[in-house]
Structure 1
Amino acid sequence: MRTPRWKTLSGAVLRVLAVWLVSSLTLLVLAALLPDFRLQSPSGDSLTRTAFTAGLGAGAFGLLSALVWPVLVRALLLVPAFVLGLLVFFLNGTLLLVALNLIPEPRGQAAPETAVIVAAAMSAASSATSTFLAVRNDEAYHRRLVRLAGRRGRAAVPGPVTPGTVFLQLDGLGHDLLRAATHGDRPLMATVAGWTGGSHRLTPWHTDWSSQTGASQLGILHGSNEDLPAFRWYEKESGALIVSNRPTSAAELQRRAVERTGDGGLLAHDGASRGNLFSGGADQVALVMSVAARRDKHNRSRAGYFAYFSDPANATRTAVSFVAEVVRELVQSLRARFRRETPRVKRGGLYPVLRAFATIVERDVVIAAVIGDMLAGRTAVYADLVGYDEVAHHSGPGHRDTHQVLRSLDRAVALIAKVARHAPRPYRIVLLSDHGQSHGVTFLDRYGLSLADLVRAGCGLPVPRRAGRTPSGAEAREAARAALHRPEGKERQGGSHPLVLTSGNLGLVSFPDVPGRITREELDRRHPALLGTLANHPGIGFVLVRSGKHGAVVLGPAGAEHHLDTGHITGADPLAAFGPGAAEAVRRTDRFPHAADLMINSAYDPVTGTVHAFEEQIGSHGGLGGAQSRPFLLWPVELTPPTPDGEPLTGAEQVHRVFRRWLSEAAGPRQPVRPEADELRRSWQDSA
């Protein structure tokens, strides 16, 4: 039964008055506590007059926040959206000073730095009051959350009876770590722990050789991650360096996937993509890298920033959390240094800011967008929360520094589940990760030289005396660049020397002056010591090279070889330690047109689960070995099992087919199941 209009209006008026009263009381308390803030004339005023002045100031501040703040946010988004988080305090303080100057017979005065504190406290108080009152009224709660998602003025209408689906990706959280975080008397993730074994079922799945977000998300959202050999790689025919999380590269990878499959993507029917590298064919996008490079009216990727930050209370809360996260990282980094924890990587420079951007700003904006999608009744939503992955890279996958991030992710899941009760249609929430992370000391710290230096030494080239270090925070760094509209990062390309690129514990070596993929025989003629130097190094697990005589060959120490085309093995199988699916994963990558001349996987200890990242990461992913290849899928029991009879779920493309089936079960014939990816891949290869 619809609530009478007069009752709705009277409730809204009462809520406005309550927020006004709380804001006025907050002003009075702050005026009594802060020496540089007053609400009285120099000669003093009565309590009644002071209270009246506080009411005028609170009313003016609230009115300015409602009318002026959204305009300021939209204007700032025309420059860089990321700067908004850094200017929130200044803007709020400025609005308060303007509000105080609007009081007749100037009685309100505040020092600029004090105005910032007062404005932040008022925004927090009004937000808390408004939220408390709203959650006690379903319609008010609905309207508030829709407004926070940027959908003002849309009337609530009954939604479809068929369930929608929210796919929530907890980036980088491996299956075994999720189990550890959901077990015990006081689990880190209490909400998810309550789901496991109850309303949901937990199962692992296995990534492809390239165990990183670009390969996994492209396969999951678009049904094909063919010819995506790593996080970054060099394409000889064009001289282009492809980096999965850069806007131009992500747009090109998505275009290729759509061309191969002939399908728009998992989210093409009434879908939304939030915080992802790729759109999945969704019309509604926010913080999606593949559309971030557009400069036309059709690019709504940054609309998520405006939708969230247009509420000054949201902006203040996120800014406070942002600063707190920067301080937390500084404290945690110092603690690790004082305790001389090992392994350890440098965490200075911009990393504390990048971490706060990933764990706070992106998280808050993505969650608000997902809430708006659910209240709008969208059929399918796919969102990525990247905070855990960023922190685990620098602290380690199971380090205590990640515990606070896991708790915040659990709270996000709980909030989304609560909002589902107010949505116009039922929702199924599927939790998943795109990969895990494997721990271990870096290759550089363990052996004193980088992979690039080792390759140069094997080629007889001079090696720098001081090994260079790769920049940290690469994933959050590119997200921040996109938010800032800054130029994409550049790396060295081309030349006659070997080009060495790294993706976690996976290394790629290309010889730009050699057309096509160099053969083992040609490489032995050019650099006779290179393959032996790499294959026999204790920090390297195996090397993939293409032989003109034997096809794909995997090289290991002491002359070990695994001929992938015939299955012939000489000596100890170099792939044995990496599990039964390793040979097929490497064989598939070898068929990619843009596989590097040499594909190098670091050593892996199956007892400790450690790998040696070729980047500055003590929690890494990108290759084979350990937890990085074993993400999870937590799915509602009302859905059909991912695979029959508990068969292994392998590869992002198979996960895509499972998700297609689940959407089809809910939506009927409107969600046709796409043909098998293998058949589409073969047809694409034939046409290419």
Structure 2
Amino acid sequence: MPPWRAVGSTVLRVLAVWAVSTLTMLLLAGGLPDFRLQSADGDTATRIAVTAGIGAGAFGVLSALVWPVLVRALLLVPALVLGLLVFFLNGSLLWIALRLVPERGEVNPETAVVVAAVMSAASSATSTFLAVRDDGAYRRRLARLADRRRRRAGAGPPEDTPGTVFLQLDGVGHAVLREAMEGDNPLMPTLAGMCGDTHRLTPWRTDWSSQTGASQLGILHGSNEDVPAFRWYEKETGEVLVSNRPSGAAELQRRAVARTGGYGLLERDGASRGNLFSGGARQLALVLSVAARRGRDTRSRAGYFAYFADPANATRTAVSFVAEIFRELTQSVRARLRGDAPRVRRGGLYPLVRAFATVVQRDVVVAAVIGDILGGRTAVYADLVAYDEVAHHSGPRGRDTRQVLRSLDRAVRLIVKAADHAPRPYRIVLLSDHGQSAGQTFAGAYGLTLEDLVRAGCGLPVPRRAGRTPSGAEARAAARVALHRPEEAGRHEEVPRKPPRSAGPVVLASGNLGLISFPDVPGRMSREAIEARHPALLRALADHPGVGFLLVHSERHGPVVIGAGACEHRLATGETLGETDPLAVFGPGAAAAVRRTAGFPHAADIMVNSCVDPASGEIHAFEEQIGSHGGLGGEQNQAFLLSPLRLSPPVSEGELVGAEQVHGVLRRWLREGRASGSRWGSGSRRPDQQDEPVPGERVS
């Protein structure tokens, strides 16, 4: 396009947005009693229109020039607080704009907030509509972004070398995804159109610790060795390590890098967005493992500036945030009135956490990924946590989660459309880190918590009223970081970082996986020592109807799985005792998964997995969750990979098992991208291309 046409197109877009803003201001002035666009003596319709045009233009100029400066200055303000300040800041800019129209524009502060929000939304919708329809505008913006990137980082890769976007739909299981893509009117039409046409759907089986900390560490860094659960007690330090605390995520990442000798999946021109771990990427936004660091490029909140610098983005997200809070409150009341069961409490801060996960985190991460695509980055890995957070409280197939799946499909569509305009071809890979299993909580089903049961088996006093284990999910950690909430929050923390050694056994929960440790006994306490000290404990746990099996370490037989009725499975030899194998109901891969975890240095003295209903797949979480994951049983162990047909199949035969194997598959696909080019076609692979070793890669 000739330069004069490019300039003309830009001018026409600006005029169109200005006209819509002016019309919006006129309509609001006619409908709001505290907002006027004329002098006290009255004005002609023409003069009022001119006043509206001047006011709208001044507001647009102030938003473009002042807003980015305000957002950068307010980066130290907690993100959720910034979301609420958006309204008042925007209203202040409008008030200033009207001050530039002497004796005619007048609005009180409260009305200015409303007018500014509506005008920002209207101008944003107009601008987006025009930009989407104008391919030339897309190309010019892509060229500017690519040019900035090349100037900043030197010469980039050839444009015909494909990049790869890995988009993680946190907690979406294989079966849930298939159901969402079925039918003539699928719940997720974008993904349904991809599956079978351009992509293949492959299930993969998680490790015993089926939660984001273990899965994402293995996927991004190639090793999740010695990650037995979401949270666990380490006797040598006397501390509880929690995967979604910034200090815990940083320590897990450090250990994984030390084991593999490498830096992760994204070490070559990669970006990590909304994840627990960096994956070796230098470009980071909302990454928990760097949340405690200081610096412009490593700060976990660095992604907020790029998004909230646009006042229209800020207004749209703030409005959606407030709407989501009211939606949650309404849905919670309806669930109580309908008598939905099972059900957990959804009050307190949960409406804010849900709104953060389903609106703020989603919008910021999607915008960051689109920016990476338009900038031509080689590899991007992003996590969208919305479904996982809502499913914990509403169930994997609840009415609320269906709405979240629709919004995730729209997010994927935005990213796919952005890839169509990127300066290089992109392969879009979708995957999940685990699924979710439904079921009533352990405390709800049996009237006592796992800790109560353990204390009773040890002969210790049990509280009269059953307590509850708070839900631990990725969105809560991200929201705490966004709020600048200190990691150490005293009695309000879900789990004390240093449990007192004199308080008896430490009992922790990770979905339907429980961990029991005896702090006063160094190293792993053997089965024989446990039975000598607490003769009734193991039988009380194994014979409870809500418990599926226990894992302990025997001095004579090594790791042993104990079930009800004196049934055992000795993992070292495969020998089973009793009428049934305690692991049989959990599937053919259960024994291998439990055997691997049994070798972890930080496996608990007693590891408890809840029972599973073989017909429905329902489990009992030891946390306050009716949709949960973390152990074995049901759909939580079946995640998915939705990959382009141009990439090699994830496995040639058999089943894809464990996050470390998934890491190997994703690394292979990145190597295929580097090996491909114009000669071999986008995303293809040379017939003679071998999987060259990558420094630091861990071979499973």
TM-score interval, smaller chain: over 0.9
Q: What is the rounded CA distance, in whole Å, between the counterparts of 1:176 and 1:610 in structure 2? A: 14
Counterpart mapping for 1:99-114 below 5 A: 99-103=97-101, 105-114=102-111
Q: What is the rounded CA distance, in whole Å, between the counterparts of 1:234 and 1:144 in structure 2? A: 51
1:591 maps to 2:599: yes
Q: State the partner residue of 2:10.
A: 12
Of 115, 119, 123, 1:118 maps to: 115
1:281 maps to 2:288: no
Q: What is the rounded CA distance, in whole Å, between the counterparts of 1:398 and 1:474 in structure 2? A: 18
- After superposition, the Cα gap between the structure-2 partners of 1:494 and 1:290, relative to the gap in structure 1 and judged at 3 Å, is same
Gaps of 5+ in 2: 676-688
Of 111, 115, 138, 1:141 maps to: 138
Q: What is the rounded CA distance, in whole Å, between the counterparts of 2:6 and 2:157 in structure 1? A: 18
Q: What is the rounded CA distance, in whole Å, between the counterparts of 1:56 and 1:676 in structure 2? A: 61
Instruction: For 1:518, give the aligned amino acid.
Output: M
Q: State the partner residue of 1:518.
A: 525
Greater shift in the superposed pair: 523-532 or 133-142: 133-142
Q: State the partner residue of 2:613.
A: 605
Q: TM-score, normalization: structure 2?
A: 0.94
- Give how far 1:150 is off: 14
- After superposition, the Cα gap between the structure-2 partners of 1:622 and 1:142, relative to the gap in structure 1 and judged at 3 Å, is farther
1:507 maps to 2:514: yes
- After superposition, the Cα gap between the structure-2 partners of 1:150 and 1:125, relative to the gap in structure 1 and judged at 3 Å, is farther
- After superposition, the Cα gap between the structure-2 partners of 1:62 and 1:154, relative to the gap in structure 1 and judged at 3 Å, is farther
Aligned-residue CA RMSD in angstroms?
2.1
Of 556, 573, 597, 1:566 maps to: 573
Q: State the partner residue of 2:664.
A: 657
- Give how far 1:137 is off: 2.3
CA contact (8 A) 1:146 1:372 kept: no
CA contact (8 A) 2:270 2:281 kept: yes
Query: Residue 610 of structure 1 aligns to a residue in which SS?
Result: coil
- Give how far 1:101 is off: 1.2
- Give how far 1:679 is off: 5.9
- After superposition, the Cα gap between the structure-2 partners of 1:474 and 1:421, relative to the gap in structure 1 and judged at 3 Å, is closer
Instruction: For 2:359, give the aligned amino acid.
Output: I
Instruction: For 1:128, give the aligned amino acid.
Output: A
Q: State the partner residue of 2:678.
A: none
1:86 maps to 2:93: no
Q: State the partner residue of 2:27.
A: 29
1:621 maps to 2:629: yes
CA contact (8 A) 1:149 1:304 kept: no
Instruction: For 1:304, give the aligned amino acid.
Output: G
Q: What is the rounded CA distance, in whole Å, between the counterparts of 1:106 and 1:294 in structure 2? A: 51
Q: What is the rounded CA distance, in whole Å, between the counterparts of 1:468 and 1:268 in structure 2? A: 44
Instruction: For 2:450, give the aligned amino acid.
Output: L
CA contact (8 A) 2:145 2:375 kept: no
1:264 maps to 2:275: no
Q: State the partner residue of 2:545.
A: 538
Q: What is the rounded CA distance, in whole Å, between the counterparts of 2:648 and 2:115 in structure 1? A: 54
Q: What is the rounded CA distance, in whole Å, between the counterparts of 1:350 and 1:676 in structure 2? A: 42
Instruction: For 1:91, give the aligned amino acid.
Output: L
Counterpart mapping for 1:416-431 below 5 A: 416-431=415-430
Q: State the partner residue of 2:201.
A: 202
CA contact (8 A) 1:157 1:424 kept: no
CA contact (8 A) 1:148 1:311 kept: no
- After superposition, the Cα gap between the structure-2 partners of 1:98 and 1:661, relative to the gap in structure 1 and judged at 3 Å, is same
Q: State the partner residue of 1:54.
A: 52
Q: State the partner residue of 1:405.
A: 404
Counterpart mapping for 1:179-258 below 5 A: 179-258=178-257
1:395 maps to 2:394: yes
Q: Deviations over 1:296-320 (max 9, x none)?
A: 3442432210000000000011111
1:464 maps to 2:466: no
Greater shift in the superposed pair: 652-661 or 17-26: 17-26
1:638 maps to 2:635: no
CA contact (8 A) 1:171 1:389 kept: yes
Counterpart mapping for 1:271-310 below 5 A: 271-310=270-309
1:548 maps to 2:594: no
Counterpart mapping for 1:143-158 below 5 A: none
Q: What is the rounded CA distance, in whole Å, between the counterparts of 2:320 and 2:611 in structure 1? A: 39
Q: Deviations over 1:570-622 (max 9, x none)?
A: 11111010011101100100100111111100001110110000001000000
Q: What is the rounded CA distance, in whole Å, between the counterparts of 1:520 and 1:158 in structure 2? A: 57
Q: What is the rounded CA distance, in whole Å, between the counterparts of 1:154 and 1:31 in structure 2? A: 47
- Give how far 1:559 is off: 0.7
Greater shift in the superposed pair: 135-144 or 87-96: 135-144
Greater shift in the superposed pair: 130-139 or 445-454: 130-139
CA contact (8 A) 1:663 1:671 kept: no
Q: Deviations over 1:201-237 (max 9, x none)?
A: 1110000000000100000000000000000011111
1:127 maps to 2:124: yes
Greater shift in the superposed pair: 209-218 or 156-165: 156-165
CA contact (8 A) 1:146 1:371 kept: no
Greater shift in the superposed pair: 238-247 or 651-660: 238-247
- After superposition, the Cα gap between the structure-2 partners of 1:458 and 1:678, relative to the gap in structure 1 and judged at 3 Å, is farther
Q: TM-score, normalization: structure 1?
A: 0.95
Instruction: For 1:31, give the aligned amino acid.
Output: A
Q: What is the rounded CA distance, in whole Å, between the counterparts of 2:42 and 2:642 in structure 1? A: 63
CA contact (8 A) 2:284 2:297 kept: no
Q: State the partner residue of 1:683.
A: none
Instruction: For 1:367, give the aligned amino acid.
Output: V
Q: What is the rounded CA distance, in whole Å, between the counterparts of 2:396 and 2:406 in structure 1? A: 14
Query: Residue 68 of structure 1 aligns to a residue in which SS?
Result: helix
Greater shift in the superposed pair: 152-161 or 455-464: 152-161
1:71 maps to 2:79: no
- After superposition, the Cα gap between the structure-2 partners of 1:499 and 1:85, relative to the gap in structure 1 and judged at 3 Å, is same
Counterpart mapping for 1:451-490 below 5 A: 451-472=450-471, 474-489=473-488, 490=493
Q: Deviations over 1:224-256 (max 9, x none)?
A: 000000000111111221111111111111111
Q: State the partner residue of 1:325.
A: 324
Counterpart mapping for 1:344-383 below 5 A: 344-383=343-382
Q: What is the rounded CA distance, in whole Å, between the counterparts of 1:272 and 1:52 in structure 2? A: 47
Q: What is the rounded CA distance, in whole Å, between the counterparts of 1:648 and 1:359 in structure 2? A: 32
- After superposition, the Cα gap between the structure-2 partners of 1:420 and 1:679, relative to the gap in structure 1 and judged at 3 Å, is closer
CA contact (8 A) 1:135 1:141 kept: yes
Q: Deviations over 1:6-27 (max 9, x none)?
A: 3222222222122111111111
Q: State the partner residue of 1:666.
A: 673
- Give how far 1:99 is off: 1.1
- Give how far 1:146 is off: 9.2
CA contact (8 A) 2:145 2:374 kept: no
Q: What is the rounded CA distance, in whole Å, between the counterparts of 2:189 and 2:342 in structure 1? A: 29
Instruction: For 1:364, give the aligned amino acid.
Output: D
- Give how far 1:91 is off: 1.1
Q: What is the rounded CA distance, in whole Å, between the counterparts of 1:376 and 1:613 in structure 2? A: 43
Q: What is the rounded CA distance, in whole Å, between the counterparts of 2:406 and 2:200 in structure 1? A: 20
- Give how far 1:290 is off: 0.7
- Give how far 1:475 is off: 2.6
Q: What is the rounded CA distance, in whole Å, between the counterparts of 1:670 and 1:154 in structure 2? A: 34
- Give how far 1:435 is off: 0.2
Q: What is the rounded CA distance, in whole Å, between the counterparts of 1:390 and 1:573 in structure 2? A: 34
Instruction: For 1:234, give the aligned amino acid.
Output: Y
Q: What is the rounded CA distance, in whole Å, between the counterparts of 1:523 and 1:301 in structure 2? A: 43
Q: Deviations over 1:508-530 (max 9, x none)?
A: 01111110010111111111111
Instruction: For 1:140, give the aligned amino acid.
Output: A
Matched residues, percent identical? 71
Q: Deviations over 1:599-655 (max 9, x none)?
A: 10000111011000000100000000010000111111111111113x100000000
